């Protein structure tokens, strides 16, 4: 399976105030609210084909910052694990693609339509295939739930991409596509909503378990991430774009408690993972940058 993607393809705050200062109905511009509500209803959802095309464009942008590792056996291995995991999601028919990026930074991310990336720095901190499957399942769940597209839409009133997303869905214009890809790429520098990350953790352990792996693969990775010094440059971007790993570990562990114990004897697949990683380290040559 070719790993390179074409075109170098990757308030709700409660306000406490005295009763005399309470918000009155006539303080609101009701007509304006109706106008916004009507506009939101008319926003057209991108089709699956649109989703895939947008994700491909965003992935190409991201690949401009970090190329895939030049190790076909390693890429093939991660793709096999990823494809197997993807088969156990609710969207197995997407054109899933998985790649290891040649950077020491510790991170993993996915763009719409099924493009999933994990960095070499992340991979080398793992201990077995169950951990790899857990991380890929987490990222696959972002794709399944369209978290990136929803983030773009939620950013509409802040001027991010909601209108443009709808316009592209209707007209397929080049200008709209360029704006969407730009906005989509920006999301990966800012990060998704915390709740989306927590949801992806919960779904990730379920997907990995369906695929036959020990459900505690992803929590094991979160435990490793929580132990890394926050001042370490390799985790700077991950810690900027993801919630605290310790908090994630606590929440996902609580959600799993007593529910997946019967699958705890599922395999971790350590020997196969170790063999692939050892072969990679022995033959590794960094991708030359221009």
- Which tops the pLDDT comparison, 12 or 49? 49
Kindly report which listed range (43-52, 73-82, 133-142) carries the lowest average pLDDT score.
Answer: 43-52
Would you say 88 and 122 are in contact if contact means Cβ atoms under 8 Å apart?
A: no
Rounded Cα distance between 265 and 241, Å, is 33
Per residue in 160-184, pLDDT (tens digit) is 444 555 555 445 556 767 777 887 7
Mean pLDDT across 120-139: 98
Structure tokens, 162:
């909601």
User: Mean pLDDT over all residues of the chain?
Assistant: 82
Per residue in 71-110, pLDDT (tens digit) is 999 999 999 999 999 999 999 999 999 999 999 999 999 9
Reduced to 3 states (helix: H, G, I; strand: E, B; else coil), residue 99 is strand
pLDDT tier at 144, thresholds 50, 70, 90: very high
Tell me, letter by letter, the H, E, C secondary structure of 44-84.
Answer: CCCCHHHHHHHHHHHHHHHHCCCCECCCHHHHHHHHHHHHH
Element (H, E) at 33: helix 30-42
pLDDT tier at 45, thresholds 50, 70, 90: confident
Q: What is the pTM of this model?
A: 0.80
Reduced to 3 states (helix: H, G, I; strand: E, B; else coil), residue 108 is strand
pLDDT at 238: 87
Rounded Cα distance between 234 and 239, Å, is 10
Q: To the nearest whole percent, how much of the chain has pLDDT over 70?
A: 77
Per residue in 223-262, pLDDT (tens digit) is 999 999 988 999 888 888 899 999 999 999 999 988 998 9
Would you say 196 and 151 are in contact if contact means Cβ atoms under 8 Å apart?
A: yes
Rounded Cα distance between 32 and 35, Å, is 5
pLDDT at 262: 93
pLDDT at 167: 53
DSSP assignment of 132-189: HHHHHHHHHHHHHTTHHHHHHHHTGGGTSSHHHHHHHHHH--HHHHHHHHHHHHHHHH
Rounded Cα distance between 7 and 156, Å, is 28
pLDDT at 287: 78
pLDDT tier at 204, thresholds 50, 70, 90: very high
261 contact partners, CB below 8 Å, separation of at least 6: none
Q: Which of 2, 33, 45, 143 is nearest to 85 (CA)?
A: 143
Rounded Cα distance between 60 and 52, Å, is 12
**Res 268 pLDDT > 90:** yes
pLDDT tier at 29, thresholds 50, 70, 90: very low
Mean pLDDT across 276-290: 89
Q: Which of 268, 284, 288 is nearest to 126 (CA)?
A: 268
**Res 122 pLDDT > 60:** yes
């Amino acid at each position: 399976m070719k790993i390179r993607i074409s075109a170098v393809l990757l308030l709700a705050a409660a306000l406490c105030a005295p009763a005399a200062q309470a918000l009155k109905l006539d303080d609101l511009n009701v007509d304006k609210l109706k106008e916004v509500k009507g506009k939101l209803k008319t926003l057209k959802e991108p089709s699956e084909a649109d989703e895939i095309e947008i994700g491909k464009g965003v992935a190409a942008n991201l690949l401009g910052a970090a190329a895939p590792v030049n190790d076909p056996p390693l890429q093939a291995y991660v793709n096999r694990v990823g494809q197997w995991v993807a088969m156990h999601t609710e969207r197995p028919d997407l054109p899933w693609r998985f790649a290891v990026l040649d950077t020491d930074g510790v991170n993993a991310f996915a763009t719409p339509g099924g493009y999933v990336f994990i960095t070499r720095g992340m991979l080398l901190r793992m201990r077995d295939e169950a951990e790899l499957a857990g991380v890929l399942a987490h990222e696959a769940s972002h794709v399944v739930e369209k978290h990136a597209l929803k983030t773009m839409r939620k950013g509409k009133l802040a001027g991010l991409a909601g209108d443009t997303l709808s316009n592209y869905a209707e007209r397929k214009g080049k200008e709209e596509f360029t704006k969407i890809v730009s906005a989509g790429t920006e999301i990966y520098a800012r990060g998704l909503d915390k709740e989306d990350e927590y949801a992806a953790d919960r779904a990730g352990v379920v997907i990995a378990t369906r695929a036959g792996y020990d459900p505690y693969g992803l929590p094991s990775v979160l435990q490793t991430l929580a132990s890394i010094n926050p001042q370490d440059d390799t985790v700077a971007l991950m810690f900027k774009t993801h919630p605290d790993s310790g908090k994630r570990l606590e929440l996902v562990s609580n959600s799993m408690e007593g529910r997946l114990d019967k699958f705890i004897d599922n395999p971790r697949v350590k020997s196969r993972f170790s063999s692939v990683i050892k072969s990679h380290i022995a033959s590794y040559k960094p991708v030359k940058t221009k």
